[in-house]
Amino acid sequence: MPVSTTSQPDVLTLLDDLIRKAKGAGADAADAVLFDSASLSLSQRFGKTEKLERSESGDLGLRVFIGKRQAIVSSTDRSAKALDELVERAVAMARVVPEDPFCGLADPEQIYTTLPDLDVCDPSEPSAELLIERARIAEEAALAVEGVTNSEGADAGWSRSTIAIAASNGFTGRYGVSRQSLSASVLAGTGTGMERDYDYDSKVYGSDLRDPASIGREAGERAIRRLNPRRVKSCKVPVVFDPRVSRGLLGHLTGSISGPSIARGTSFLKDKMGQRIFAAGITIVDDPHVKRGLRSRPFDAEGIATTRRNLIEDGHLTTWLLDLRSARQLGLSTTGHAARGTSGPPGPAPANVYMAPGAKSRDELLAEIPNGFYVTELMGTGVNGVTGDYSRGAAGYWIENGQIAYPVTELTIAGNLKEMFLNLEPASDLELRFGMDAPTIRIDGLTVAGL
Protein backbone atom coordinates (compact mmCIF):
# COMPACT_ATOMS: atom_id res chain seq x y z
CA MET A 1 0.00 0.00 0.00
CA PRO A 2 2.59 2.61 -1.04
CA VAL A 3 1.66 6.29 -0.78
CA SER A 4 3.94 9.25 -1.28
CA THR A 5 4.25 12.93 -2.05
CA THR A 6 7.51 12.70 -4.02
CA SER A 7 8.84 10.54 -6.83
CA GLN A 8 11.71 8.69 -5.13
CA PRO A 9 10.81 4.99 -5.25
CA ASP A 10 14.39 4.06 -4.35
CA VAL A 11 13.85 5.32 -0.77
CA LEU A 12 10.90 3.04 -0.06
CA THR A 13 12.55 0.19 -1.95
CA LEU A 14 15.58 0.56 0.32
CA LEU A 15 13.42 0.33 3.44
CA ASP A 16 11.40 -2.59 2.08
CA ASP A 17 14.63 -4.48 1.32
CA LEU A 18 15.91 -3.75 4.83
CA ILE A 19 12.74 -5.14 6.39
CA ARG A 20 12.85 -8.21 4.17
CA LYS A 21 16.44 -8.88 5.23
CA ALA A 22 15.49 -8.48 8.90
CA LYS A 23 12.71 -11.03 8.59
CA GLY A 24 15.05 -13.36 6.72
CA ALA A 25 17.53 -13.06 9.59
CA GLY A 26 14.97 -14.18 12.15
CA ALA A 27 12.87 -11.13 13.06
CA ASP A 28 9.15 -11.72 13.49
CA ALA A 29 8.37 -8.14 12.43
CA ALA A 30 10.24 -4.94 11.63
CA ASP A 31 9.86 -1.33 10.64
CA ALA A 32 12.31 1.23 9.31
CA VAL A 33 12.41 5.01 9.11
CA LEU A 34 14.56 7.25 6.94
CA PHE A 35 15.30 10.98 6.96
CA ASP A 36 17.02 12.80 4.11
CA SER A 37 17.64 16.49 4.76
CA ALA A 38 19.26 19.51 3.16
CA SER A 39 19.63 22.94 4.71
CA LEU A 40 21.09 26.37 4.06
CA SER A 41 21.77 28.76 6.93
CA LEU A 42 23.11 32.28 7.11
CA SER A 43 24.19 34.52 9.97
CA GLN A 44 25.30 38.10 9.52
CA ARG A 45 26.14 41.02 11.80
CA PHE A 46 26.47 44.66 10.77
CA GLY A 47 26.03 43.63 7.16
CA LYS A 48 28.92 41.17 7.16
CA THR A 49 28.32 37.47 6.66
CA GLU A 50 29.58 35.49 9.64
CA LYS A 51 28.27 32.09 8.59
CA LEU A 52 26.94 30.65 5.35
CA GLU A 53 26.56 26.89 5.47
CA ARG A 54 24.88 24.29 3.35
CA SER A 55 24.52 20.77 4.69
CA GLU A 56 23.01 17.52 3.53
CA SER A 57 22.43 14.50 5.71
CA GLY A 58 20.78 11.12 5.62
CA ASP A 59 19.96 8.77 8.45
CA LEU A 60 17.94 5.59 8.75
CA GLY A 61 16.82 3.43 11.62
CA LEU A 62 15.70 -0.19 11.80
CA ARG A 63 13.51 -1.62 14.56
CA VAL A 64 13.09 -5.40 14.78
CA PHE A 65 10.84 -7.56 16.94
CA ILE A 66 11.37 -11.09 18.13
CA GLY A 67 8.33 -12.01 20.13
CA LYS A 68 7.90 -9.22 22.66
CA ARG A 69 11.52 -8.13 22.41
CA GLN A 70 12.56 -5.17 20.29
CA ALA A 71 15.85 -3.58 19.29
CA ILE A 72 16.63 -0.41 17.37
CA VAL A 73 19.77 0.45 15.43
CA SER A 74 20.59 3.35 13.12
CA SER A 75 23.15 4.20 10.47
CA THR A 76 24.16 6.93 8.05
CA ASP A 77 25.88 4.38 5.80
CA ARG A 78 23.57 2.89 3.15
CA SER A 79 26.04 0.57 1.48
CA ALA A 80 24.92 -3.04 1.11
CA LYS A 81 27.58 -4.24 3.55
CA ALA A 82 26.63 -1.65 6.19
CA LEU A 83 22.94 -2.50 5.93
CA ASP A 84 23.65 -6.23 6.23
CA GLU A 85 25.62 -5.51 9.40
CA LEU A 86 22.80 -3.28 10.63
CA VAL A 87 20.30 -6.12 10.27
CA GLU A 88 22.63 -8.61 11.93
CA ARG A 89 23.25 -6.32 14.88
CA ALA A 90 19.57 -5.47 15.35
CA VAL A 91 18.44 -9.11 15.34
CA ALA A 92 21.24 -10.13 17.71
CA MET A 93 20.25 -7.37 20.14
CA ALA A 94 16.56 -8.30 19.98
CA ARG A 95 17.33 -11.87 21.03
CA VAL A 96 18.83 -10.78 24.35
CA VAL A 97 16.96 -7.65 25.52
CA PRO A 98 14.16 -7.94 28.12
CA GLU A 99 10.61 -8.43 26.91
CA ASP A 100 8.30 -5.46 26.56
CA PRO A 101 4.67 -6.65 26.66
CA PHE A 102 3.41 -3.42 25.06
CA CYS A 103 5.73 -3.14 22.05
CA GLY A 104 4.73 -4.06 18.51
CA LEU A 105 3.55 -2.77 15.16
CA ALA A 106 0.07 -1.60 14.28
CA ASP A 107 -2.43 -4.16 13.09
CA PRO A 108 -2.85 -3.98 9.30
CA GLU A 109 -6.41 -2.64 9.65
CA GLN A 110 -5.10 0.28 11.76
CA ILE A 111 -2.76 1.76 9.16
CA TYR A 112 -3.91 4.73 7.14
CA THR A 113 -4.97 4.57 3.50
CA THR A 114 -5.61 8.15 2.33
CA LEU A 115 -2.98 10.86 1.94
CA PRO A 116 -4.35 14.34 2.79
CA ASP A 117 -3.13 17.34 0.82
CA LEU A 118 -1.22 19.34 3.42
CA ASP A 119 1.07 21.41 1.15
CA VAL A 120 3.93 21.23 3.65
CA CYS A 121 6.83 21.19 1.18
CA ASP A 122 7.88 24.23 -0.84
CA PRO A 123 9.43 22.87 -4.06
CA SER A 124 11.64 25.95 -4.53
CA GLU A 125 14.99 26.37 -2.83
CA PRO A 126 16.10 29.92 -2.02
CA SER A 127 19.51 31.04 -3.17
CA ALA A 128 22.21 32.13 -0.75
CA GLU A 129 21.84 35.62 -2.21
CA LEU A 130 18.15 35.71 -1.28
CA LEU A 131 18.89 34.70 2.32
CA ILE A 132 21.62 37.34 2.51
CA GLU A 133 19.20 39.98 1.22
CA ARG A 134 16.49 39.02 3.72
CA ALA A 135 18.94 39.20 6.61
CA ARG A 136 20.36 42.51 5.39
CA ILE A 137 16.95 44.15 5.18
CA ALA A 138 15.91 42.85 8.61
CA GLU A 139 19.09 43.96 10.36
CA GLU A 140 19.15 47.37 8.71
CA ALA A 141 15.54 47.98 9.69
CA ALA A 142 16.33 47.02 13.29
CA LEU A 143 19.39 49.26 13.46
CA ALA A 144 17.40 52.15 11.99
CA VAL A 145 15.14 52.25 15.06
CA GLU A 146 16.18 55.26 17.14
CA GLY A 147 17.90 54.12 20.32
CA VAL A 148 19.17 50.78 19.00
CA THR A 149 22.91 50.78 19.64
CA ASN A 150 24.20 47.32 18.81
CA SER A 151 23.31 44.21 16.86
CA GLU A 152 23.47 40.54 17.66
CA GLY A 153 22.84 39.93 13.97
CA ALA A 154 20.23 38.49 11.69
CA ASP A 155 19.77 34.86 10.73
CA ALA A 156 18.04 33.37 7.70
CA GLY A 157 17.55 29.70 6.93
CA TRP A 158 15.96 27.09 4.72
CA SER A 159 15.60 23.34 5.08
CA ARG A 160 13.85 20.50 3.32
CA SER A 161 13.46 16.93 4.55
CA THR A 162 12.02 13.69 3.27
CA ILE A 163 10.51 11.36 5.86
CA ALA A 164 9.92 7.76 4.79
CA ILE A 165 8.58 4.86 6.84
CA ALA A 166 7.96 1.22 5.97
CA ALA A 167 6.89 -1.75 8.09
CA SER A 168 6.30 -5.47 7.72
CA ASN A 169 2.59 -4.98 8.43
CA GLY A 170 2.20 -3.59 4.89
CA PHE A 171 2.64 0.10 5.62
CA THR A 172 4.78 2.33 3.41
CA GLY A 173 4.62 6.09 3.34
CA ARG A 174 6.71 9.11 2.53
CA TYR A 175 6.28 12.88 2.52
CA GLY A 176 8.43 15.99 2.34
CA VAL A 177 8.54 19.04 4.61
CA SER A 178 10.26 22.39 4.24
CA ARG A 179 10.98 25.40 6.44
CA GLN A 180 12.17 28.94 5.86
CA SER A 181 12.98 31.30 8.71
CA LEU A 182 14.24 34.78 9.45
CA SER A 183 15.18 36.49 12.72
CA ALA A 184 16.85 39.65 13.98
CA SER A 185 18.21 40.45 17.44
CA VAL A 186 19.47 43.85 18.59
CA LEU A 187 20.35 45.82 21.72
CA ALA A 188 19.23 49.26 22.83
CA GLY A 189 20.77 51.63 25.34
CA THR A 190 24.35 51.88 26.59
CA GLY A 191 26.60 50.45 29.27
CA THR A 192 24.91 48.43 31.98
CA GLY A 193 21.53 49.76 30.89
CA MET A 194 21.44 47.87 27.61
CA GLU A 195 18.43 45.71 26.79
CA ARG A 196 18.07 43.02 24.14
CA ASP A 197 15.10 41.78 22.15
CA TYR A 198 14.32 39.99 18.90
CA ASP A 199 11.69 39.08 16.36
CA TYR A 200 11.36 35.89 14.37
CA ASP A 201 9.24 34.19 11.74
CA SER A 202 9.16 30.66 10.29
CA LYS A 203 6.99 29.31 7.51
CA VAL A 204 6.73 26.30 5.21
CA TYR A 205 6.86 28.55 2.13
CA GLY A 206 9.29 31.42 1.83
CA SER A 207 6.58 33.50 0.17
CA ASP A 208 4.57 33.35 3.41
CA LEU A 209 7.32 34.89 5.56
CA ARG A 210 6.62 38.30 7.02
CA ASP A 211 8.34 41.23 5.38
CA PRO A 212 11.99 41.29 6.54
CA ALA A 213 11.82 45.01 7.30
CA SER A 214 8.83 44.50 9.63
CA ILE A 215 10.71 41.75 11.48
CA GLY A 216 13.69 44.06 11.96
CA ARG A 217 11.61 47.04 13.06
CA GLU A 218 9.70 44.91 15.57
CA ALA A 219 12.99 43.61 17.03
CA GLY A 220 14.30 47.14 17.42
CA GLU A 221 11.11 48.57 18.87
CA ARG A 222 10.84 45.71 21.36
CA ALA A 223 14.39 46.41 22.55
CA ILE A 224 13.65 50.12 22.96
CA ARG A 225 10.51 49.46 24.99
CA ARG A 226 12.52 47.40 27.49
CA LEU A 227 14.90 50.24 28.42
CA ASN A 228 15.08 51.46 32.03
CA PRO A 229 13.23 48.55 33.62
CA ARG A 230 12.09 48.79 37.22
CA ARG A 231 11.75 46.32 40.06
CA VAL A 232 8.42 45.88 41.82
CA LYS A 233 7.48 44.54 45.22
CA SER A 234 6.16 41.03 45.64
CA CYS A 235 2.40 40.83 45.27
CA LYS A 236 -0.50 38.75 44.01
CA VAL A 237 -1.95 40.27 40.84
CA PRO A 238 -3.43 39.35 37.46
CA VAL A 239 -0.74 38.23 35.03
CA VAL A 240 -1.16 38.65 31.27
CA PHE A 241 0.91 36.44 28.98
CA ASP A 242 1.90 37.89 25.59
CA PRO A 243 1.33 35.44 22.69
CA ARG A 244 5.09 35.00 22.46
CA VAL A 245 5.02 33.24 25.83
CA SER A 246 1.38 32.17 26.27
CA ARG A 247 1.89 29.26 23.88
CA GLY A 248 4.23 27.75 26.47
CA LEU A 249 1.18 26.99 28.59
CA LEU A 250 -0.01 24.69 25.81
CA GLY A 251 3.32 22.90 25.96
CA HIS A 252 2.77 22.24 29.67
CA LEU A 253 -0.69 20.86 28.86
CA THR A 254 0.46 18.53 26.07
CA GLY A 255 3.33 17.24 28.18
CA SER A 256 0.92 16.49 31.00
CA ILE A 257 -1.51 14.50 28.81
CA SER A 258 1.18 12.47 27.06
CA GLY A 259 0.42 8.74 27.27
CA PRO A 260 3.70 7.63 28.91
CA SER A 261 3.26 10.20 31.73
CA ILE A 262 -0.29 9.01 32.32
CA ALA A 263 0.74 5.33 32.25
CA ARG A 264 3.53 6.01 34.78
CA GLY A 265 1.22 8.11 36.93
CA THR A 266 3.64 11.05 36.81
CA SER A 267 1.24 13.73 35.58
CA PHE A 268 -0.85 16.12 37.68
CA LEU A 269 -3.68 15.46 35.21
CA LYS A 270 -3.58 11.66 35.47
CA ASP A 271 -7.06 11.46 37.08
CA LYS A 272 -8.70 14.29 35.13
CA MET A 273 -10.01 12.61 31.98
CA GLY A 274 -13.47 13.93 31.15
CA GLN A 275 -13.28 16.56 33.87
CA ARG A 276 -13.26 20.34 33.56
CA ILE A 277 -9.67 21.56 33.83
CA PHE A 278 -10.17 24.90 32.04
CA ALA A 279 -12.93 27.47 32.33
CA ALA A 280 -16.17 26.90 30.43
CA GLY A 281 -15.89 27.83 26.77
CA ILE A 282 -12.17 27.09 26.44
CA THR A 283 -11.26 24.95 23.41
CA ILE A 284 -7.76 23.69 22.59
CA VAL A 285 -7.29 21.98 19.24
CA ASP A 286 -4.66 19.58 17.91
CA ASP A 287 -4.82 19.68 14.10
CA PRO A 288 -2.24 17.76 12.04
CA HIS A 289 -3.97 18.78 8.79
CA VAL A 290 -3.44 22.55 8.81
CA LYS A 291 -2.47 23.58 5.27
CA ARG A 292 1.17 24.68 5.29
CA GLY A 293 1.25 24.02 9.04
CA LEU A 294 4.66 23.80 10.68
CA ARG A 295 3.71 20.57 12.49
CA SER A 296 1.31 19.09 9.96
CA ARG A 297 1.76 15.43 9.03
CA PRO A 298 -0.34 12.98 7.00
CA PHE A 299 0.37 9.97 9.22
CA ASP A 300 2.23 9.31 12.41
CA ALA A 301 5.49 7.44 12.94
CA GLU A 302 3.63 4.12 13.26
CA GLY A 303 1.59 4.51 10.08
CA ILE A 304 -1.60 5.57 11.86
CA ALA A 305 -3.87 8.14 10.22
CA THR A 306 -3.71 11.56 11.87
CA THR A 307 -6.88 13.48 12.61
CA ARG A 308 -8.00 16.81 14.04
CA ARG A 309 -9.32 16.59 17.59
CA ASN A 310 -10.20 18.90 20.47
CA LEU A 311 -7.88 18.20 23.38
CA ILE A 312 -9.98 20.52 25.50
CA GLU A 313 -13.65 21.07 24.70
CA ASP A 314 -15.72 23.55 26.70
CA GLY A 315 -13.02 23.35 29.35
CA HIS A 316 -13.12 19.52 29.60
CA LEU A 317 -10.17 17.20 28.97
CA THR A 318 -11.19 14.83 26.18
CA THR A 319 -8.15 12.72 25.30
CA TRP A 320 -4.59 11.67 26.01
CA LEU A 321 -1.84 11.88 23.39
CA LEU A 322 -1.11 8.24 22.61
CA ASP A 323 1.19 6.09 20.52
CA LEU A 324 0.65 2.34 20.23
CA ARG A 325 2.73 1.43 23.26
CA SER A 326 1.19 3.89 25.72
CA ALA A 327 -2.28 3.09 24.36
CA ARG A 328 -1.74 -0.59 25.09
CA GLN A 329 -0.52 0.23 28.58
CA LEU A 330 -3.72 2.15 29.24
CA GLY A 331 -6.06 -0.27 27.50
CA LEU A 332 -6.96 2.35 24.88
CA SER A 333 -6.50 2.93 21.16
CA THR A 334 -3.70 5.04 19.73
CA THR A 335 -4.61 8.62 18.85
CA GLY A 336 -2.08 8.75 15.99
CA HIS A 337 0.43 10.94 17.81
CA ALA A 338 3.55 8.77 17.48
CA ALA A 339 6.77 10.51 16.51
CA ARG A 340 10.27 9.10 16.32
CA GLY A 341 13.83 9.53 15.24
CA THR A 342 16.10 6.85 13.83
CA SER A 343 17.71 5.69 17.07
CA GLY A 344 14.79 5.40 19.49
CA PRO A 345 11.27 3.99 19.72
CA PRO A 346 8.18 6.06 18.91
CA GLY A 347 6.68 8.33 21.53
CA PRO A 348 3.68 10.68 21.51
CA ALA A 349 4.06 14.24 20.24
CA PRO A 350 1.42 16.86 19.39
CA ALA A 351 0.86 18.32 15.94
CA ASN A 352 -0.37 21.90 15.38
CA VAL A 353 -1.88 22.89 18.73
CA TYR A 354 -3.77 26.12 19.32
CA MET A 355 -6.15 27.64 21.85
CA ALA A 356 -9.30 29.05 20.28
CA PRO A 357 -9.61 32.84 20.72
CA GLY A 358 -11.82 34.39 23.34
CA ALA A 359 -14.38 37.18 23.01
CA LYS A 360 -12.39 40.13 24.43
CA SER A 361 -9.59 42.00 22.74
CA ARG A 362 -6.20 42.28 24.41
CA ASP A 363 -6.92 45.89 25.36
CA GLU A 364 -10.21 44.86 26.94
CA LEU A 365 -8.42 42.25 29.07
CA LEU A 366 -5.92 44.89 30.21
CA ALA A 367 -8.56 47.57 30.82
CA GLU A 368 -9.99 45.62 33.77
CA ILE A 369 -6.63 45.40 35.61
CA PRO A 370 -5.73 48.16 38.13
CA ASN A 371 -2.32 46.59 38.80
CA GLY A 372 -0.80 43.62 37.02
CA PHE A 373 2.10 42.11 35.13
CA TYR A 374 2.28 41.80 31.32
CA VAL A 375 4.82 39.06 30.55
CA THR A 376 6.86 39.05 27.35
CA GLU A 377 9.76 36.82 28.39
CA LEU A 378 10.06 33.72 30.59
CA MET A 379 13.26 32.14 31.90
CA GLY A 380 14.05 28.85 33.57
CA THR A 381 12.22 25.53 33.58
CA GLY A 382 10.60 25.55 36.99
CA VAL A 383 7.51 23.49 36.17
CA ASN A 384 6.79 20.27 38.06
CA GLY A 385 4.79 17.94 35.84
CA VAL A 386 3.86 15.69 38.76
CA THR A 387 2.34 18.37 40.99
CA GLY A 388 1.64 21.16 38.51
CA ASP A 389 3.69 23.64 40.54
CA TYR A 390 4.81 26.52 38.32
CA SER A 391 7.66 28.96 38.96
CA ARG A 392 9.37 30.89 36.17
CA GLY A 393 11.63 33.91 35.98
CA ALA A 394 9.95 36.64 33.95
CA ALA A 395 10.31 40.11 32.43
CA GLY A 396 7.85 42.39 30.71
CA TYR A 397 5.77 45.43 31.64
CA TRP A 398 3.79 46.60 34.63
CA ILE A 399 0.11 47.33 34.14
CA GLU A 400 -1.45 50.33 35.89
CA ASN A 401 -5.07 51.38 35.49
CA GLY A 402 -5.56 49.13 32.50
CA GLN A 403 -2.53 50.43 30.58
CA ILE A 404 1.01 49.16 30.05
CA ALA A 405 2.98 51.61 32.20
CA TYR A 406 6.71 50.73 32.30
CA PRO A 407 9.13 47.81 31.78
CA VAL A 408 9.93 45.51 34.69
CA THR A 409 12.52 42.79 35.16
CA GLU A 410 13.95 40.26 37.63
CA LEU A 411 10.56 38.91 38.65
CA THR A 412 9.30 35.40 39.31
CA ILE A 413 5.79 34.13 38.60
CA ALA A 414 4.52 31.37 40.87
CA GLY A 415 1.33 29.33 40.90
CA ASN A 416 -0.01 25.89 40.11
CA LEU A 417 -1.09 24.83 36.64
CA LYS A 418 -4.32 23.29 37.97
CA GLU A 419 -5.52 26.68 39.20
CA MET A 420 -3.88 28.56 36.32
CA PHE A 421 -5.74 26.52 33.72
CA LEU A 422 -9.08 26.97 35.53
CA ASN A 423 -8.60 30.75 35.87
CA LEU A 424 -7.31 31.37 32.37
CA GLU A 425 -9.04 33.80 29.99
CA PRO A 426 -7.92 34.09 26.34
CA ALA A 427 -8.12 37.24 24.26
CA SER A 428 -9.31 37.37 20.66
CA ASP A 429 -5.90 37.91 19.04
CA LEU A 430 -4.92 34.35 18.05
CA GLU A 431 -2.41 34.04 15.18
CA LEU A 432 -1.25 30.68 13.87
CA ARG A 433 2.50 31.24 13.57
CA PHE A 434 4.60 28.60 15.28
CA GLY A 435 2.73 25.29 15.30
CA MET A 436 1.83 25.79 18.96
CA ASP A 437 -0.10 29.01 19.39
CA ALA A 438 -2.28 30.84 21.88
CA PRO A 439 -3.72 34.33 22.04
CA THR A 440 -2.93 36.79 24.79
CA ILE A 441 -3.91 35.08 28.06
CA ARG A 442 -4.92 36.58 31.40
CA ILE A 443 -4.64 34.61 34.64
CA ASP A 444 -5.73 36.18 37.91
CA GLY A 445 -4.31 35.50 41.35
CA LEU A 446 -0.70 34.58 40.53
CA THR A 447 2.12 35.45 42.88
CA VAL A 448 4.70 37.80 41.45
CA ALA A 449 7.92 37.77 43.48
CA GLY A 450 10.12 40.85 43.21
CA LEU A 451 11.73 43.10 45.80
Report the pLDDT value the prediction gives residue 356, as an integer from 0 to 100: 98
User: In whole angstroms, what separates CA 292 from the centre of its chain?
Assistant: 15
Nearest residue to 161 via CA among 341, 10, 36, 54: 36
The answer for residues whose C-beta is within 8 angstroms of residue 271's C-beta and 6 or more apart is none
List alpha helices for 169-258, DSSP H. Answer: 212-225, 243-256
Cα torsion 46, 219, 392, 236: sign:
positive
Asked if 267 and 256 count as a contact pair (C-beta separation under 8 A), the reply is: yes
Asked if 397 and 370 count as a contact pair (C-beta separation under 8 A), the reply is: no
Asked if 198 and 60 count as a contact pair (C-beta separation under 8 A), the reply is: no
CA pair distance 217, 183, nearest whole angstrom: 11
Phi, psi torsion values for 401, nearest 5 degrees? 50, 45
Report the pLDDT value the prediction gives residue 113, as an integer from 0 to 100: 84
> pLDDT tens track of the chain, all 451 residues?
334 433 444 899 999 999 999 999 999 999 999 999 999 999 999 999 999 999 999 999 999 999 999 999 999 999 999 999 999 999 999 999 999 999 999 999 999 888 899 999 999 999 999 999 999 999 999 999 999 999 999 999 999 999 999 999 999 999 999 999 999 999 999 999 999 999 999 999 999 999 999 999 999 999 999 999 999 999 999 999 999 999 999 999 999 999 999 999 999 999 999 999 999 999 999 999 999 999 999 999 999 999 999 999 999 999 999 999 999 999 999 999 999 999 999 999 999 999 999 999 999 999 999 999 999 999 988 899 999 999 999 999 999 999 999 999 999 999 999 999 999 999 999 999 999 999 999 999 999 999 8
SS3 content of the chain, % helix, strand, coil (to 5): 25, 40, 35
Which DSSP string corresponds to 41-94? EEEEETTEEEEEEEEEEEEEEEEEEETTEEEEEEES--SHHHHHHHHHHHHHHH
Nearest residue to 420 via CA among 440, 443, 387: 443
Nearest residue to 125 via CA among 179, 190, 192: 179
User: In whole angstroms, what separates CA 408 from the centre of its chain?
Assistant: 28
What single-letter DSSP state applies at residue 13? H
Report the pLDDT value the prediction gives residue 382, as an integer from 0 to 100: 87
Asked if 112 and 188 count as a contact pair (C-beta separation under 8 A), the reply is: no
Neighbouring CB atoms inside 10 A of 66's CB total 20
Beta bridge partners of 313: 316
CA pair distance 24, 248, nearest whole angstrom: 47
Report the pLDDT value the prediction gives residue 394, as an integer from 0 to 100: 97
Asked if 37 and 54 count as a contact pair (C-beta separation under 8 A), the reply is: no
Neighbouring CB atoms inside 10 A of 441's CB total 25
The answer for residues whose C-beta is within 8 angstroms of residue 298's C-beta and 6 or more apart is 5, 112, 115, 116, 118, 173, 175, 288, 306
Nearest residue to 433 via CA among 293, 283, 253: 293
The answer for residues whose C-beta is within 8 angstroms of residue 440's C-beta and 6 or more apart is 240, 241, 242, 243, 246, 362, 365, 426, 427, 429
